[in-house]
Chain A
Amino acid sequence: MSHLANFSKGLLKENPLLVLVLGTCPSLAITSSAVNGLGMGLAATFVLICSNGVISCIKDLIPDKVRIPCYITVIAAFVSIVDLLMAATLPDLHKTLGIFIPLIVVNCIILGRAEAFAARNSLLPSLLDGAGMGLGFTLALSVMGFIREFLGNGAVFGHKFIPGDGILIFILAPGAFICLGFLIALANILNRASAGKGRA
């Protein structure tokens, strides 16, 4: 697989949230605004790139039987870095995302990519895979946050365009599920269209 394909497959074709349907818990919980989605996505992207890189380097040193604890340790180290960095530089965002930043440790996407990709590939493809997957996750979260914030609050990235309350349900949990469902449908349509084009 080419380097470009390693990177770009995470954006739409194997988008972690919309096609692999991983990491739905933080996605449903924190996408009540576009900024939250973007922040969460970028934090996860950082962890994903770094952990993929490190794991692809040390994969031959790890005994097969204890590989999951080893991956988790590596991931936890980077999550701690992100957690402390955000607390220092973006305290407001850190406060809003709250427990979901430490919970990146157990995010299925990161462990899933370590297990499925980084453990079998060399450094550069792993880095590209992590970046593609991370940006795909960020994209999905930002779009979801944008839609929910716009419909639920009448605002775009925190700037209020429509006075008064929006359709409140979109900020609440049911709105997250509805929004995720429609985005998955959209990703399916786009993927089907591009698959059809590839065959013809």
Chain B
Amino acid sequence: MTTARLLVVSQPPHIPGPFSTRRIMLDVLIALTPAFLAALYYFGVGAFLVTATAVVCCLATEYLIQKFLLRKEPTINDLSAVVTGVLLAMNLPSNIPLGMVAAGSIFAIGIAKMCYGGLGHNPFNPALMGRVFLLMSFPVAMTSWPKPLINRFSVDAVTGPTPLAIIKEGLHAGQPLGELMPKIPGYLDLFLGNRGGCLGEVSILAILLGLAYLLYRQVITWHIPVIAALSAFLLSGLFWIMTPGSTPDPFFHLLTGGLIFGIVFMATDYTTSPMTVKGMCFYAAAIGILTILIRSFGSYPEGMSFAILIMNAFVPLINKLCKPYRFGEGKI
């Protein structure tokens, strides 16, 4: 706080804000706690091991790179590497081999973050880069999902497809939607998290608790989550109205996959999201639309991580287009 005061050069009076990088990251970690507890409840010891490995590897990578490659004071105390590690773990299945978790963590911090210059300079969300790296490198391990509530105390678990994969593969094989819907859990189970999927994405309830905390602490504003959810809902609703027999309804799209987790925790990352409210609205709407388009027409069952990364690439452009006018210039 003292250094922050020395840097103030504008006219007084000033109101020192309570925010620091460490405090914001701590808030994100607190907001992730319900989702982590839900993951522990549904997936047991595997969830803990994956999260611990990711956090330790992210911290170690950041520390070693800063200490020995860049030869500067390590900044692991700002907790951003811990957040990256937890977010990465939340995007992985609970039975993935721990070596792969370590590889993903090293990629997320070493390549997606430090290669671009560290915190605040990375154009893409590091945790999502780690996830996509693992998804492309180890497609089998990344798409075998342990069933929830079974074998919680062993690392070997009974696996099954996610609801999105059931629908996608079923529709691809020509089965009618009416036969597929009974195979997926009911909407209450989907809301509580009793389904196969990544650690963090399964329990919508826990994610909404985290969202409420983030909004209460003013870490994020409501624009990105609400608008992204709305655009995904409207587009999938449109598809549902146009082809009722072969498209799942919009509530299914909201409740499955990583949509809610992504728009609450991944799309709202400060570094990789637009700076102005107008920009955030464009960005969020495009994420929702892209996710539904990939889910409906792409070859992967889930499109959340790709949608966010694609829009990350557009953020500099959005920032440029949505620059606020200075007082006294521009439109009258």
Contact = CB atoms under 8 A, between A and B. Distances in A.
Nearest to B100: A167
A168 B111 contact: no
Interface residues of A, number: 9
Taking residues whose C-beta sits less than 8 angstroms from the other chain, chain B's interface range is under 10
A176 to B, nearest CB: 13
A165 B138 CA distance: 8
Interface in B124-157: 133, 136-139
B52 interface: no
Nearest to A173: B136
A69 B224 CA distance: 55
Contacts, number: 16
A165 B136 CA distance: 12
A168 B137 CA distance: 4
Nearest to A168: B137
B283 to A, nearest CB: 23
Interface string A163-200: 00101111010100010010000000000000000000
Contacts of A170: 137
Q: Which of A169, A172, A178 has the most CB of B within 10 A?
A: A169
Interface in B99-129: 103, 111, 115
A181 B133 CA distance: 16
A18 to B, nearest CB: 17
Interface in A154-170: 165, 167-170
Contacts of B136: 168-169, 172, 174
16 contacts: A165-B138, A167-B103, A167-B137, A167-B138, A168-B136, A168-B137, A168-B138, A168-B139, A169-B133, A169-B136, A169-B137, A170-B137, A172-B136, A174-B136, A178-B111, A181-B115
Interface of A: 165, 167-170, 172, 174, 178, 181
